[in-house]
């Protein structure tokens, strides 16, 4: 079979196109994907390295803060004594917040995780907006490890200035004998 010049050119173009497509699909595209994946991994590890270096630079300050926070629980022999002190502190803070009336306090079961004991308390109260804000501010600025996990505010239609609120407060008890 003898091919004419035009047919030879068409055959060469088809073979070159097939070779280029095979080169792209079998070599270039997988190499680009692998290169992109390695680049992303390098960037992620560089970010992790920067965070680790930052924490390492702050190690002394973090250790001092941990020791200070652990010492807040060191004066209490167990979680029950610490919980009583924290609940008393919450009641004291609610009295400082004018226009606030606690309706119920419900301590939830203690949770243990990685050597720490977490105490959650649900507090229901009625207050105006100023009392609510002042209570939350005072609560989060105490020397205890207190965090607000959930805050629910409902409006009372009979008295629109009074808000019925529910807050879930969490605190941690660190055993002073254990070093983390």
Q: Give the pLDDT confidence of 59-72 residue by residue, as tens digits.
A: 888 888 778 777 76
Q: Looking at residues 109-130, what average pLDDT do you find? A: 85
User: Does residue 64 form part of some domain?
Assistant: no
Separation between Cα atoms, residue 12 and residue 129, nearest integer Å: 82
Check whether residue 80 and residue 127 sit in a common domain: yes
Mean pLDDT of the chain: 84
- In which band, very low, low, confident or very high, does the pLDDT at 30 lie, cut at 50, 70 and 90? very high
Q: In the chain, pLDDT over 90 holds for what percent of residues?
A: 28
Separation between Cα atoms, residue 127 and residue 164, nearest integer Å: 7
- Identify the three-state secondary structure at position 159: coil
pLDDT reported for residue 43:
95
Full domain range(s) for residue 148? 76-174
* Number of separate domains in the chain: 2
User: Does residue 70 form part of some domain?
Assistant: no
Please determine, for residue 178, whether its predicted confidence score (pLDDT) is greater than 70.
Answer: no
User: Does residue 62 form part of some domain?
Assistant: no
Check whether residue 81 and residue 53 sit in a common domain: no
Check whether residue 85 and residue 42 sit in a common domain: no
Check whether residue 33 and residue 86 sit in a common domain: no
User: Does residue 115 form part of some domain?
Assistant: yes
User: Does residue 18 form part of some domain?
Assistant: yes
Check whether residue 30 and residue 90 sit in a common domain: no
Separation between Cα atoms, residue 35 and residue 145, nearest integer Å: 46
User: Does residue 7 form part of some domain?
Assistant: yes
User: Does residue 67 form part of some domain?
Assistant: no
Check whether residue 30 and residue 95 sit in a common domain: no
Check whether residue 113 and residue 162 sit in a common domain: yes
Task: Report pTM.
Answer: 0.57
Q: Look at the block and give the residue holding tokens 């079998």.
A: 26
Q: How many residues does the chain have?
A: 180
- Which domain CATH number covers 148? 3.30.70.60
Please check whether residue 129 is in contact with residue 163, taking contact to mean a CB–CB distance below 8 angstroms: yes
- In which band, very low, low, confident or very high, does the pLDDT at 24 lie, cut at 50, 70 and 90? very high
Q: Looking at residues 39-54, what average pLDDT do you find? A: 94
Check whether residue 89 and residue 38 sit in a common domain: no
CB neighbours of residue 117 within 10 Å: 18
Separation between Cα atoms, residue 150 and residue 48, nearest integer Å: 31
- Supply the DSSP string of 105-133, one letter for each residue: EEEPPPEEETTEEEEEEEEEEEE-HHHHH
List strand residue ranges (DSSP E) for the chain, in order.
100-107, 111-113, 116-127, 146-155, 163-174
* CA 172 and chain centroid, separation: 16
pLDDT reported for residue 48:
95
User: Does residue 65 form part of some domain?
Assistant: no
- In which band, very low, low, confident or very high, does the pLDDT at 179 lie, cut at 50, 70 and 90? very low
Separation between Cα atoms, residue 156 and residue 39, nearest integer Å: 56
């Amino acid at each position: 079979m003898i091919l004419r010049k035009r047919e030879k050119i068409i055959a060469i173009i088809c073979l070159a196109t097939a070779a280029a497509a095979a080169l792209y699909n079998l070599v270039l595209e997988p190499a680009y994907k692998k290169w992109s994946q390695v680049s992303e991994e390098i960037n992620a590890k560089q970010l992790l390295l920067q965070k680790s270096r930052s924490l390492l630079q702050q190690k002394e300050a973090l250790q001092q803060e941990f020791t200070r926070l652990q010492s807040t629980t060191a004066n209490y022999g167990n979680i029950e004594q610490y919980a009583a002190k924290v609940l008393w502190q919450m009641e004291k803070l609610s009295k400082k917040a004018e226009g606030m009336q606690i309706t119920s306090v419900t301590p939830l079961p203690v949770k243990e995780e990685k050597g720490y004991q977490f105490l959650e308390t649900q507090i229901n109260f009625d207050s105006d907006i100023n009392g609510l804000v002042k209570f939350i501010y005072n609560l989060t600025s105490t020397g205890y490890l207190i965090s607000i996990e959930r805050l629910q505010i409902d409006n009372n239609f009979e008295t629109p200035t009074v808000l019925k609120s529910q807050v879930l407060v969490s605190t941690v008890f660190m055993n002073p004998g254990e070093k983390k």
